[in-house]
């Protein structure tokens, strides 16, 4: 019966793609292939996303909003980018869901039901910025491998859950703990159940931060299933890939976690800067931790025409990984002069900050409005694409929109 | 399409050649479906419709002639050029064609990507097809010079309130 179900669900997929290759695929892979069945339908309906999001990839699912989609202060689900390394799990039962804490550096191995986690530990809510390490990859030259994110792989939602540190303290962590690594329920693209699509983690100090959550709610509702329902690790300010979705296990390690996508070029950059296109040895690559300072103009949408004499109000968000943004500036003359905008404090640490400015254009013509944020350590966004790296991470170049005054 | 029809005749006579023929039938969707369902329900049957046989090249022709608009293969979005079907057969089982199309690499880096998939992602040995696939990718998806910052592209100018 299970097999029949799989066949009927994948009928469309077989019709849509090369029949020969689908048969090769079907022959070599297990029953769990039927997971794919659910991933065939309209992704906008399936994931409740705004129709304006671009589909970067449909296997695995990757979708990206445009800058003006991210205008809300707290991003709502329809505008949140979708990033998957593997296949979205389809068999999720919160009533039987468990989280196990194990690893070399725990005093005991302990398993909690979801209900236990919710009842035993205090709940906290934070607005946290989650940005894909590869946000902005599309601008690197020579081009770098992976989904070609433009500027939209970032958002700030409100997350509710229990503190990871409270749970780790309940389990008992040995003093030699270095890192935590997550394990989750998503399925490797090849269908090989022995492989994990991704298993990343964070240093123990980040795991012990107050804002690092085992979250079960996003924006006061159950986490949408494509974003990790029923349980997700959320560590704001770090590359989004550390915030493991569909969380089943956390291993407390006595070494840097060595799970899938912790090594090679994945989420790592050269420890010392390299020229564009240079080969970098494995040993010379360092794991990305805090994300760099960055900002987005979310209003108006690029391409606006305004009449001469009218003032233009711009607004957007700025964030700086583990740090706070201390200054927000804009330029309408390609970076020759900069003026300050109004910048608000974050609603909590690791939340993005909102800025606005009122612009008076001197005469008619074509303008670009550039936005530049500066963090609390004095670092600001570059105007051109920053240092090349093999996988095209950390492009925090100034965001630009085009405006015509007529 | 002509080739496929000839093959369909053979199919009735010779069940033993099923391997090769399954591929050749891919243009005929209805029949293909029945075959695929049959095969999926009987996993013990020999199924290795090896992507490295010459026959798979033949499918390409059949499928291509049907599903191409303005030089783009409708089902996958790939540029219609020599080597496309072999690329589809070997590169879209695990992941979306969009993942390929988004990327721009030279031969060395496409090969490196293939090696990475073979070492870590369960991609099979591509045999003789590797040359064909890499040639197709380099010809159609080579690196583009974008410099340090591109002009902004605005497709729809609009009046601000």
Q: Which residues contact B44 (CB under 8 A, 6 or more apart)?
A: none
pLDDT in tens, A64-76: 999 999 999 999 9
Choose among B40, B49, B96: nearest Cβ to A3.
Answer: B40
pLDDT at res. A16 = 36
Does residue A88 form part of some domain? no
pLDDT at res. A34 = 40
Dihedral sign, Cα of residue A367, residue A368, residue A369, residue A372: negative
| For B95, nearest residue in chain A (alpha carbons) | A59
pLDDT in tens, A82-137: 999 999 998 899 999 999 999 999 999 999 999 999 999 999 999 999 999 999 99
Asked if B22 lies within 8 A of A20 by C-beta distance, the reply is: yes
Of all residues in chain A, the percent with pLDDT exceeding 90 is 88
pLDDT in tens, A320-373: 999 999 999 999 999 999 999 999 999 999 999 999 999 999 999 999 999 999
Choose among A27, A145, A384: nearest Cβ to B47.
Answer: A27
A265 and A155 both lie in a single domain: yes
| Domain containing residue A254 | 98-287
CATH code where residue A333 lies: 2.60.40.650
Q: Which of A241-255, A266-280, A296-310, B6-20 has the lowest mean pLDDT?
A: B6-20
pLDDT at A313 over 90: yes
A278 and A300 both lie in a single domain: no
User: Which among A41-45, A137-141, B41-45 has the top mean pLDDT?
Assistant: A137-141
Does residue A91 form part of some domain? no
Let me know: does A216 contact A223? Beta carbons within 8 Å: yes
pLDDT at A400 over 50: yes
A189 touches chain B (CB under 8 A): yes
Q: CA–CA separation, A132 vs A63, rounded Å?
A: 12
Choose among A21, A139, A301: nearest Cβ to B88.
Answer: A21
pLDDT band at residue A315 under the 50/70/90 scheme:
very high
ipTM of the complex: 0.84
Residues of A in contact with B36 (CB under 8 A): 14, 19, 22-23, 26
Mean pLDDT of A288-307: 98
Average pLDDT, chain A: 91
Mean pLDDT of A194-219: 97
Q: How many domains, in total, are found in chain A?
A: 3
pLDDT at A1 over 70: no
pLDDT at res. A376 = 98
pLDDT at res. A40 = 57
Does residue A19 form part of some domain? yes
Does residue A56 form part of some domain? no
pLDDT at A297 over 70: yes
Residues of A in contact with B98 (CB under 8 A): 55-58
Asked if A18 lies within 8 A of B149 by C-beta distance, the reply is: no
A245 and A154 both lie in a single domain: yes
Of all residues in chain A, the percent with pLDDT exceeding 70 is 90
pLDDT at res. B66 = 61
A236 and A105 both lie in a single domain: yes
Does residue A64 form part of some domain? no
pLDDT at res. B118 = 95
SS (H, E, C) chain A: CHHHHHHHHHHHHHHHCCHHHHHHHHHHCCHHHHHHHHCCCCHHHHCCCCCCCEEEEECCEEEECCHHHHCCCCCCHHHCCEECCCECCCCCCCCCCEEEEECCCECCCEEEEHHHHHHHCCEEEEEEEEECCCCCHHHCCCCCCCCCCCCCCEEEEEEEEEEHHHHHHHHCECCCCCEEEEEECCECCCCCCCCCCCCCEEEHHHHCCCCCEEEEEECCEECCHHHCCCCEEECCCCEHHHCCCCEEEEEEECCCCCCCCCCCCCCEEECCCCCCCCCCCHHHEEECCCCCCEEEEEECCCCEEECCCCCEEEEEEEEECCECEEEEEEECCCCCCCEECEECCCCCCCCCEEEEEEECCCCCEEEEEEEEEEECCCCECCCCCCCCCCCCCCCCCCEEEEEEEC
Does residue A283 form part of some domain? yes
A250 and A343 both lie in a single domain: no
Interface test with B, best of A14, A24, A138 (most B CBs within 10 A): A24
A195 and A317 both lie in a single domain: no
pLDDT at res. B161 = 82
pLDDT in tens, A168-179: 999 999 999 999
Asked if B146 lies within 8 A of A15 by C-beta distance, the reply is: no
pLDDT digit string (tens) for chain B, length 161 residues: 344 444 444 444 444 454 544 444 444 444 444 444 444 444 333 333 333 333 333 222 224 446 899 999 998 999 999 999 999 999 998 999 999 999 999 999 999 999 999 998 999 999 999 999 999 999 999 998 989 999 999 999 999 98
CATH code where residue A140 lies: 3.90.420.10
A241 and A146 both lie in a single domain: yes
Element (H, E) at B68: strand B68-69
Displacement of CA A19 from its chain's centroid (Å): 34
A235 and A117 both lie in a single domain: yes
Mean pLDDT of A190-194: 90
Q: CA–CA separation, B53 vs B128, rounded Å?
A: 9
Does residue A368 form part of some domain? yes
Does residue A241 form part of some domain? yes
């Amino acid at each position: 019966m299970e097999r029949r179900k799989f066949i009927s669900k994948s009928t469309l997929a077989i019709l849509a793609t090369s029949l020969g290759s689908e048969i090769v695929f079907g022959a070599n892979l297990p029953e769990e292939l039927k997971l794919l069945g659910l991933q065939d339908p309209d992704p906008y309906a399936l994931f409740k996303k705004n129709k304006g999001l671009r589909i970067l990839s449909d296997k695995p699912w990757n979708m990206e909003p445009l800058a003006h989609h991210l205008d809300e202060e707290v991003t709502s689900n329809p505008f949140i980018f979708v990033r998957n390394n593997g296949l979205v799990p389809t068999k999720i039962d919160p009533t039987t869901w468990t989280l196990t804490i194990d690893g070399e550096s725990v005093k005991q191995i302990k398993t909690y039901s979801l209900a236990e986690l919710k009842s035993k530990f205090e709940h906290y809510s934070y607005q946290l910025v989650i940005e894909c390490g590869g946000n902005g990859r599309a601008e690197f030259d020579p081009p770098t491998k992976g989904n070609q994110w433009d500027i939209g792989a970032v958002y700030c939602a409100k997350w509710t859950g229990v503190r990871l540190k409270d749970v780790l303290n309940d389990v008992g962590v040995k003093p030699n703990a270095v890192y935590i690594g997550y394990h989750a329920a998503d399925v490797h693209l090849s269908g090989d159940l022995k492989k994990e699509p991704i298993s990343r983690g964070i240093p123990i100090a980040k795991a012990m931060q107050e804002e690092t959550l085992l979250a079960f709610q996003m924006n006061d509702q159950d986490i949408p299933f494509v974003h990790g329902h029923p349980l997700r690790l959320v560590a704001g300010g770090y590359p989004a890939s550390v915030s493991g979705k569909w969380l089943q296990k956390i291993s407390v390690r006595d070494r840097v976690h060595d799970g899938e996508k912790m090594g090679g070029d994945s989420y790592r950059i050269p420890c010392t800067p390299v020229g564009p296109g240079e080969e970098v040895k494995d040993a010379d690559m360092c794991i990305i931790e805090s994300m760099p300072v960055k900002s987005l103009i979310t209003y108006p949408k690029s391409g606006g025409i305004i009449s001469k004499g009218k003032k233009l109000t711009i607004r957007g968000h700025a964030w700086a990984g583990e740090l706070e943004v201390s200054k927000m500036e804009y330029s309408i003359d390609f970076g020759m002069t900069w003026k300050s905008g109004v910048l608000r404090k974050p609603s909590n640490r690791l939340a993005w900050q909102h800025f606005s400015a009122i612009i008076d254009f001197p005469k008619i013509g074509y303008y670009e409005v550039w936005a530049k944020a500066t963090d609390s350590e004095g670092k600001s966004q570059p105007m051109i694409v920053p240092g090349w790296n093999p996988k095209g991470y950390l492009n925090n170049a100034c965001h630009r929109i085009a405006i015509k005054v007529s | 399409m002509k080739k496929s029809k000839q093959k369909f005749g053979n199919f009735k006579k010779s069940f033993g050649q099923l391997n090769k023929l399954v591929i050749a039938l891919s243009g005929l969707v209805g029949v293909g479906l029945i075959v695929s369902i049959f095969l999926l329900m009987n996993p013990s049957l020999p199924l290795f419709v090896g992507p490295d046989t010459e026959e798979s090249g033949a499918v390409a022709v059949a499928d291509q002639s049907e599903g191409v608009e303005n030089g783009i293969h409708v089902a996958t979005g790939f540029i219609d050029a020599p080597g496309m079907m072999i690329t589809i057969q070997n590169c879209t089982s695990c992941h979306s064609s969009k993942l390929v199309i988004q990327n721009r690499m030279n031969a060395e880096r496409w090969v490196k990507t293939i090696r990475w998939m073979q070492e870590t992602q369960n991609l099979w040995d591509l045999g003789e097809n590797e040359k064909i696939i890499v040639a197709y990718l380099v010809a159609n998806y080579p690196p583009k010079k974008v410099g340090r910052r591109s002009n902004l592209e605005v497709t729809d100018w609009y009046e601000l309130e």
